[in-house]
Structure 1
């Protein structure tokens, strides 16, 4: 166990400030979000981790069940809720066309996103950034959260600059109803 990991052992962002718990992102229906790369609560394969720790930084396959009627856009938020900071780190933020139905591995790449994917700014940069927790800090949970929005996030006047907005500022602009939501948690430990 490294000294830094040991010193930060009890410091974790937690779920309180996760997108899932923001009042504007609460939904009545539950979507089923799955991946053929890992199950809910299971370890994420190394290929989905950051290159800095030997991974390939390839976003995992994601699929969801039927969307609620009236879904105009999907919002995908990937957060590390165990990062040793005050709030979870947003590892990826994207708007998805509801017609996509699923995302193939690598579809959240900043330079060449998959069809129907619009990559936004995250805490780390643009595109998917895989796990790279502090060595010795313990297991980190990476929560993939999918929200079915009744109104496209990029259509409201207050979100005219979605491309440049910081993740927390952008999430605070959600005003339309969330018709459904689902989550999938992957775990990684160094």
Structure 2
């Protein structure tokens, strides 16, 4: 796999196609998103890395402040902007009750039963997918994005059920702009 990573070294999805840059998710950067497990722009610990990369695939704990009072729902999206794909690879999509201000470790994993957390489909399967970049591809940036929505998402594009909808179909139904948003980037390479 190191050879494949080297061959694809210059192929990156890029920042421009993040959920962060969708017009419906534009808004003031008033949410302070953080994690007790790693700092913004630092390396994501191995426990939060995917199993194929030697980790435990446990979603990191998250905390935030600054949620506006009139927030109907929070949307959390985690994307890899350095994946060698056309668009950033989606590692997690979740809908959160607006009164939440923290998520414990593992809250975004499939089978988690944290009250107020609805984990949706990701790029492959459901729930949090920890970093598993191609060996030799270099450092990847994993962008944790939290959006305070004025209207709750109840179905995906075309009326598709949220539990089976692809991430792009969920994001396409957002009616914005966001009331507030926050971002935290984590790094991982192998």
Give the CA RMSD over aligned residues. Answer: 1.7
**TM-score (normalised: structure 1):** 0.95
For residue 28 of structure 2, what is the aligned residue in structure 1?
A: 28
For residue 170 of structure 1, what is the aligned residue in structure 2?
A: 170
Distance 2:117 2:152 in 1: 13
Structure 1 alignment gaps of length 5 or more: none
Asked if 1:61 is matched to 2:61, the reply is yes
Distance 1:110 1:187, change over 3 A: same
Q: Deviations over 1:8-38 (max 9, x none)?
A: 0000000111100011110124211000000
Structure 2 alignment gaps of length 5 or more: none
Judge which range, 155-164 or 118-127, deviates more.
Answer: 155-164
SS at match of 1:47: helix
For residue 4 of structure 1, what is the aligned residue in structure 2?
A: 4
Displacement of 1:50: 0.4
Distance 2:168 2:83 in 1: 16
Distance 2:156 2:188 in 1: 37
Distance 1:18 1:29 in 2: 15
For residue 148 of structure 2, what is the aligned residue in structure 1?
A: 148
SS at match of 1:99: coil
Distance 2:141 2:157 in 1: 34
Q: Deviations over 1:66-106 (max 9, x none)?
A: 31120110000000110000100000000001112100000
Distance 1:157 1:186, change over 3 A: closer
For the 8 Å contact 2:156–2:162, the answer to whether it is kept is no
Aligned residues: 190
